[in-house]
Amino acid sequence: MIPRVGNSGSDVLIETQMLLLESKEQAGIDNEESVSYVLLLPVLDGEFGSSLQGNSAKELQVCIESGEFLTRQFQNS
């Protein structure tokens, strides 16, 4: 695994297994910056596995796979 840095969802590679997000917010009059971190880990459950990926619209997508060829594809548009 090679660590990468980016600024938008389009920077996230396909089949990403872990993602650390950094959020910065400026607070009030003193302009002190508050930093928060969020760790995203795709879920594994039984026959299902998942990963993260970015798209050209700078969005983050969760990809879920079952390994079952009879499972239909679902896409939320």
The DSSP element (H or E) to which 66 belongs, if any, is none
CA nearest neighbour of 9 among 31, 44, 40 = 40
pLDDT computed for residue 32 by the predictor:
80
Phi-psi sector, 11: left (phi>0), alpha (psi -120 to 50), beta: alpha
pTM, two decimals, is 0.68
User: Each residue of 17-38: pLDDT tens digit?
Assistant: 899 999 888 777 777 888 899 9
Q: Which residues of the chain have pLDDT under 70?
A: 1, 69-77
Compute the Cα dihedral for 39, 43, 70, 77 and give only its sign: negative
pLDDT computed for residue 76 by the predictor:
58
